[in-house]
Structure 1
Amino acid sequence: MDINVSSEIGHLKGVIVHTPGHEVSLVNPELKDELLFDDIIFEEDARGEHLDMLDIFKAAMPKDGQVIEIVDLFKDVFKIEDARSYFIEQLIKEFPEENLHVIEKELHQLSPDDLLKFVIQGYLEKSKGFTLHPSPNLLFTRDLAAVVGNGILISRAAKKARLRESLMMETLVEYHPMFESVRNNAIRISGQQSIEGGDVLVVSDKLVLIGMSERTSFSGLMKGTEGLLQRGVETVLAVDIPKQRSSMHLDTIFTFADENECIAFPPAIMEQQENVVALFKDGDSIRSETKPSLKSALEEATARDFNFIKCGGENRTNQFREQWTDGANVFALAPGIIVGYERNTNTFNTLVDHGYDLMTQFEFVEEFADKDFNPGKDQKIAISFQGHELCRGRGGARCMTMPISRKSLTQ
Structure 2
Amino acid sequence: MSSSAFSNLPDAQGFFGRFGGQFVPPELKAVMDDISAAYEDIRQRDDFQQELAMLLADYVGRPSPVFYARRLSEKLGGARIYLKREDLNHTGAHKINHCLGEALLAKFMGKTKVIAETGAGQHGVALATACALVGIPCEIHMGQVDIEKEHPNVTRMKILGATLVPVTRGTATLKDAVDSAFEEYLKDPQNFIYAIGSVVGPHPFPGMVRDFQSVIGREARAQFLEREGRLPDRVVACVGGGSNAIGMFTAFLDDNEVQLVGVEPAGDGLDTDRHAATLTLGKPGEIHGMACYVLEDAEGNPLPVHSIASGLDYPGVGPQHSYLKDLGRVDYQSVSDQECLDAFMTLSRVEGIIPALESAHAVAWAIREAPALSPEQTILVNLSGRGDKDADYVADKLGL
Per the normalisation by structure 2, the TM-score is 0.30
Per the normalisation by structure 1, the TM-score is 0.30
More helix as a share of residues: 2
Structure number with larger C-alpha Rg: 1
